[in-house]
Chains A and B, each alone.
Chain A
Amino acid sequence: MEEKKESKGLISWLEKRINLFELFSIISSFGLFYSELDSKKPLKEAIKEVLEKKVPPYARWPQILGIITILLFFFQVLTGILLAFYYVPSINESYERVKFIIRDTDFGWFIHQIHFWGSNFLIIILIIRVMRFFYHGVYKSPRELLWIFGIALLVLSVIQAFLGGILLMDENKFWSSIRSIEIIKNIPVLNWIYLFFLGGYDINQQTIIRAYFFHVTLLPILFLFFLYLNISGIRKLGLSEIPWETKKRKEIPFYPHHFFNLLILLFIIFGVLVTFAVLFPTPFYKPADPSFTPPGILPGWYFLPIYGFFELFFKIIPKLILGFICILIFSLILFLPFIDRKEVRTFKERILAIFIGVIFLILIGLFTFFGIHKEISLSITNIF
């Protein structure tokens, strides 16, 4: 209790000297507070008001995914800063520096693993989030932009994972990145963008410096920007109701109920990350030898469906057309809110849309399978 009094005193002391309202409104834009502060009142009262305000029970299924994205991004930024303490983007030195981080620093391996698993979970969570947006029809008017921001976040996190893989320079990640680059090479438009930003399809000094620069500065800022757009959009429009849930949910006060829900969520995410980092560490192999391709290396798992798609069809259909099909599908997904403009959101009225979605998911799963088991897809293509 005494601590609280002190901190309150400190807040009012600070309030006279700096503009705390601005600070708190920034925090609220990134999802910590759920309503705007009343700038006419003293900050202490305004915060108390915000804390006591009833919020819909956010931290429950299925609206939980946005806040998980924020927390995971926070973990990624933190561990990324820590890794940048020792990393050097250089074709000759990178491997040694990563080895130094993993082997010679205290807990370096742990931070590296958390960064690796955090990036994978971020992609998985964002995929699930996009899937839920589709299933609950969240992309319908007036939330079209939320869908696009969601896709943008997903694409950014995939790019981040890909660029981060280039930086390691061990055998596995190096060749897996080369595989990913080969996929990018086959997709029109995307390969122009890739060439514009990274220069060439091989991995050299220039690639590493540029990949590092984008990985640590430009793309996190872009991610943060889209996160801000996403959350401010949710603040404006309110949380999307689940269309077939008739019963209204109980509202809970922000503090302590919701706050502690968030805290529990933070601990669960951290626990899951630690568990995976310790039990399923990503291996770090010997340095990459650009003149020797080890057998059986796959691209990053997020590229596997496209990889399988190409493996299955490249003998029958020209690669350019396959690439254009990929671009077409991506644009269909991206502009879905402007294609499916009916305002119905209940399950029964959207059976066709759900059906198409399920078929799409099955196809993705199938292509991933063919991407992993190359020999099966090869034996199938040999039939033709």
Chain B
Amino acid sequence: MTEKRRNFLEILAKGFISLWGVGIIWILFSYIKTPKRKFEENLIKIDDVSSIPITGSSIYHYKDKSIILIRKEEKEFLAFSAICTHLKCILNYQKEREVLVCPCHAGVFDMNGNVVSGPPPKSLQRYRVDIRGNRLYVYFD
């Protein structure tokens, strides 16, 4: 009788301890696992880049982001956030000076996204561009 009871208690104790162990391991694994990159949500796909002339630019809107895509040469593209870091106006590209200019308060950014002059406090976010044939992908990482 007592032996049975002791066995039962032992099983109970071991069960509890392994339950704790499983729980802790589950927490660890679910925390450590690399967060999924949601590629579909994090890129803009542009099917036909020939619509942008060389030294021309184009603006794309996607969710809360706006992107200005600048074509410098045949296969050289630059993508920046098109939103001025000052008061969130949409930037224009001036191909003669090769700068991005904010129409609201004349903030000027160079082709690295850095502030050249004007009120903007921070430099522009630059995005990674991937060209595959006639298609172009802009990634927000």
Contacts of A107 in B (CB 8 A): 27, 30-31
Contact A82 B35 (CB under 8 A): no
> Is A6 among interface residues, defined by CB-CB distance under 8 A?
no
> Is B32 among interface residues, defined by CB-CB distance under 8 A?
yes
> Is A2 among interface residues, defined by CB-CB distance under 8 A?
no
Query: How far is A31 from B128 in the complex, measured between Cα atoms in Å?
Result: 52
Contacts of B1 in A (CB 8 A): none
B50-70 residues at the A interface, CB under 8 angstroms: none
5 other contacts beyond A85-B32, A108-B31, A111-B31, with CB at 8 A cut-off? Answer: A82-B28, A110-B27, A111-B27, A263-B17, A267-B20
- Select B31's contact among A105, A263, A267, beta carbons within 8 Å: A105
Closest chain A residue to B17 by CB distance?
Answer: A263
The 4 closest A-B pairs by CB, nearest first: A106-B30, A107-B27, A107-B31, A106-B31
Closest chain A residue to B27 by CB distance?
Answer: A107
> Is A104 among interface residues, defined by CB-CB distance under 8 A?
yes
Shortest Cβ distance from A169 into chain B, in angstroms?
Answer: 16
Q: What 1/0 mask marks residues of chain B from 1 to 34 whose CB sits below 8 Å from any chain A CB? A: 0000000000000000100100000011011100
Q: In this complex, which of B17, B27, B31, B35 has the most chain A Cβ atoms within 10 angstroms of its Cβ? A: B31
Contacts of B20 in A (CB 8 A): 267
A252-288 residues at the B interface, CB under 8 angstroms: 263, 267
Q: How many residues of A contact B (CB 8 A)?
A: 11
Contacts of B32 in A (CB 8 A): 82, 85
Contacts of B17 in A (CB 8 A): 263
B residues lining the A interface (CB < 8 Å): 17, 20, 27-28, 30-32, 35
Contacts of B31 in A (CB 8 A): 82, 85, 105-108, 111
Query: How far is A106 from B30 in the complex, measured between Cα atoms in Å?
Result: 6
Q: What 1/0 mask marks residues of chain A from 74 to 117 whose CB sits below 8 Å from any chain B CB? A: 00000000100100000000000000000011111011000000
Contact A104 B35 (CB under 8 A): yes
Query: How far is A263 from B20 in the complex, measured between Cα atoms in Å?
Result: 12
Contact A105 B35 (CB under 8 A): yes
Contacts of A267 in B (CB 8 A): 20
Query: How far is A122 from B64 in the complex, measured between Cα atoms in Å?
Result: 45
Closest chain A residue to B34 by CB distance?
Answer: A85
Closest chain B residue to A92 by CB distance?
Answer: B122
Task: Supply 20 A–B pairs (Cβ within 8 Å), ascending by A.
Answer: A82-B28, A82-B31, A82-B32, A85-B31, A85-B32, A104-B35, A105-B31, A105-B35, A106-B27, A106-B30, A106-B31, A107-B27, A107-B30, A107-B31, A108-B31, A110-B27, A111-B27, A111-B31, A263-B17, A267-B20
Closest chain B residue to A271 by CB distance?
Answer: B20
A358-375 residues at the B interface, CB under 8 angstroms: none
Q: In this complex, which of A82, A106, A263 has the most chain B Cβ atoms within 10 angstroms of its Cβ? A: A106
Query: How far is A267 from B35 in the complex, measured between Cα atoms in Å?
Result: 30
Contacts of A104 in B (CB 8 A): 35
Query: How far is A263 from B28 in the complex, measured between Cα atoms in Å?
Result: 20
Query: How far is A82 from B31 in the complex, measured between Cα atoms in Å?
Result: 8
Contacts of A106 in B (CB 8 A): 27, 30-31
Query: How far is A182 from B35 in the complex, measured between Cα atoms in Å?
Result: 39
Query: How far is A267 from B21 in the complex, measured between Cα atoms in Å?
Result: 11
Query: How far is A85 from B35 in the complex, measured between Cα atoms in Å?
Result: 11
Contacts of B27 in A (CB 8 A): 106-107, 110-111
Closest chain B residue to A105 by CB distance?
Answer: B31
Contacts of A110 in B (CB 8 A): 27
Contacts of A82 in B (CB 8 A): 28, 31-32
Closest chain B residue to A83 by CB distance?
Answer: B31
Contacts of B35 in A (CB 8 A): 104-105
Shortest Cβ distance from B120 into chain A, in angstroms?
Answer: 15
Query: How far is A104 from B33 in the complex, measured between Cα atoms in Å?
Result: 12
Closest chain B residue to A111 by CB distance?
Answer: B31
Query: How far is A267 from B30 in the complex, measured between Cα atoms in Å?
Result: 22
Query: How far is A106 from B31 in the complex, measured between Cα atoms in Å?
Result: 5
Shortest Cβ distance from A230 into chain B, in angstroms?
Answer: 28
Query: How far is A85 from B20 in the complex, measured between Cα atoms in Å?
Result: 23
Contacts of A263 in B (CB 8 A): 17
Query: How far is A101 from B38 in the complex, measured between Cα atoms in Å?
Result: 18
Shortest Cβ distance from A38 into chain B, in angstroms?
Answer: 31
A218-273 residues at the B interface, CB under 8 angstroms: 263, 267
Query: How far is A105 from B32 in the complex, measured between Cα atoms in Å?
Result: 9
Query: How far is A107 from B35 in the complex, measured between Cα atoms in Å?
Result: 13
